Amino acid sequence: MLTCKDATRLMSEAQDRPLSVGEKLQLEVHLAMCRGCSNFREQMNFLRLACRRFMQRRNGDDDGSSPS
Ligand SMILES: [Zn+2]
């Protein structure tokens, strides 16, 4: 069973490298049971999306669908 510390570490490592099947499984089990870590993941996904949109706008790739 993962601790919350292990779970958050795996989630951030997943940004940089593919997780093994075992790691993914343990993470999913933990997330299914832990509200705190599942909130953390949502926030991280949100930040990643926001960051990507910001970079796209900087690169002039914006498709005009977002108000500026
Ligand atoms: Zn947790």
Q: Where are the domains of the chain?
A: 4-58
Alpha carbon distance 32, 14 (integer Å):
17
- Is this model's pTM higher than 0.85 or not? no
Distance 51 CA to ligand 1 centre (A): 24
∠ CA 54-7-25, rounded to 5°: 105
- Tens of pLDDT, residues 42-56: 999 999 999 999 999
CA distances for 37 relative to 18, 19, 20, 21, 57, angstroms:
19, 17, 19, 19, 30
Distance 39 CA to ligand 1 centre (A): 9
Distance 22 CA to ligand 1 centre (A): 17
Region 3-23: mean pLDDT is: 95
* pLDDT for the residue 15: 87
